[in-house]
Amino acid sequence: MLCVLLQSLREKFSGIIGQEGVRATDIDKVDMHLSFRPSDIVRVVVLSLGDARAYYLSTAKNEVGVISGKSSADAATMVPISWAEMQCPLTGQLEQRKVAKVES
C-alpha cells in the first residue's frame, strides 16, 4: 500500500483482494488475472485489518479498481476506456482490468 486517503505511508503494508472482493456481482465469474496485473496501482477499500500478514481489501464498488497499469507488451502506461478495459496508447492493444470509475 502506498497511501491511505491522501497521506503517504512511511512503512510497507501488504493487502489481499480475494475473489469475492473484486466486484459486487457475478463473483463466481471473476478471473483475478483479468482484473489486476503485477505493478498495477489500485484504489481499494480496506475491509478489515486482516491478520498479521495483510489487510483485507475490496474493489467491489464502482469508484475503486485499477487507476494505473502498464501494458504487458511494451510497459507503456495504459489508458482506461471502460470499467473493464484499458488500452495501450502505443499499440492500441486492449487488456482487461477492473478499472476504477473516473471522477468527473
Domains in the chain, CATH or no CATH each = 13-96 (2.40.50.140)
Reading the block at residue 25, the C-alpha cell is 456481482
Mean pLDDT of the 3-25 span: 87
Q: What's this model's pTM, rounded to 2 decimal places? A: 0.85
3-state SS class at 32? helix
Contacts of 102 (CB under 8 A, 6+ apart): 80
Mean pLDDT of the 68-92 span: 91
Reading the block at residue 45, the C-alpha cell is 477499500
pLDDT at 6: 82
Q: What is the pLDDT of residues 24-48, one digit of tens each?
A: 888 888 899 899 998 899 999 999 9
Compute the distance between CA of residue 18 and CA of residue 93 in angstroms, rounded to an integer.
Answer: 27
Would the pLDDT of 87 be above 70?
A: yes
Reading the block at residue 72, the C-alpha cell is 504487458
